[in-house]
């Protein structure tokens, strides 16, 4: 027995298909983004203790040179990515979170990690976008004011062109911290 289709039913089904297609596509893209997020980074298990200096001690050098505003990341495709908070605050929070997640105690006032953000850019003229972050890290013994460790860490990370800026920033800083934690000199300085 053949079933008759109502015109209203066909319109409703077509409308559902039109509405669901963007949702299904966005779900696919989110799962792909998720594969590249910091949640999937191999977590290094660190030992040692230190404290992370306040955001003011993580100088964002492009802003200090009046090159750009303190809350802007240079972008080749447009004038820049503007954040609600200053770059040094965003980077400092992620550094503290990443170190804590890696197993470091970050309440030891005897050794303080600070640094300068020398470069933070994104090149998204093509896909994938290329994020570049260069930070000079410094660990200081607070009792003697002696520099116990210093290094310049440059990381480059590819990310989907239309990913969340927050995710891309967090993942790029995480990559920098992973590199820092992998440096035996840093581990020696905080133990």
The pLDDT of residue 76: 74
Q: Quickly list DSSP for 54-101.
A: PGGGEEEHHHHTTSS-TTEEEESSSS-EEPSS-HHHHHHHHHHHHHHH
In the chain, what are the domains?
A: 41-189 (3.40.50)
Band (pLDDT 50/70/90 cuts) for residue 14 is low
Per-residue model confidence as pLDDT tens digits over 126-145:
889 899 999 999 999 999 99
What kind and span of H or E run contains 165?
A: helix 165-181
Average pLDDT, the chain: 82
What tokens does 59 get?
Answer: 């100088």
Q: How confident is the model at residue 161 (pLDDT cuts 50, 70, 90)?
A: confident
Q: What are the beta bridge partners of residue 150?
A: 138
pLDDT confidence tier of residue 36, bands split at 50, 70 and 90: very low
* pLDDT at residue 31, rounded to an integer: 32
**Would you say the pTM of this structure is higher than 0.85?**
no
Is residue 153 scored above 80 in pLDDT?
A: yes
Residue 189's contacts (CB-CB under 8 Å, 6 or more residues apart) are 48, 111, 139, 148, 149
What are 83-131's pLDDT values in tens digits?
999 999 999 999 999 999 999 999 999 999 999 999 999 998 888 989 9
* Between 20 and 95, the higher pLDDT residue: 95
Q: Where are the beta strands (DSSP E) in 101-164?
A: 111-123, 129-141, 146-159
Which pLDDT score is estimated for 75?
83
Q: Using 50, 70 and 90 to split pLDDT, how confident is the model at 17?
A: low
């Amino acid at each position: 027995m053949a079933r008759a289709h109502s015109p209203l039913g066909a319109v409703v089904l077509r409308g559902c298909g039109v509405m669901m297609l963007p949702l299904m596509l966005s779900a696919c893209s989110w799962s792909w983004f998720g594969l590249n997020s910091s949640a999937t980074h191999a977590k290094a298990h660190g030992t040692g203790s230190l404290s992370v200096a306040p955001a003011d001690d993580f100088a964002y050098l492009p802003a200090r040179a009046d090159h750009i505003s303190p809350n802007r990341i240079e972008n080749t495709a447009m004038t820049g990515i503007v954040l609600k908070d200053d770059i040094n605050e965003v980077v400092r929070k992620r550094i503290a979170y990443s170190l804590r997640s890696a197993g470091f105690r970050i309440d030891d006032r005897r050794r303080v990690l600070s640094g300068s953000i020398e470069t933070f850019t994104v090149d998204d003229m093509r896909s994938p976008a290329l994020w570049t972050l260069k930070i000079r890290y410094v660990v200081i013994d607070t009792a003697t004011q002696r520099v116990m460790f210093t290094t310049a860490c440059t990381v480059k990370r590819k990310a989907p062109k239309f990913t969340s800026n927050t995710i891309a920033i967090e993942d790029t800083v995480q990559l920098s911290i992973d590199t820092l934690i992998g440096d035996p000199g840093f581990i020696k300085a905080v133990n």
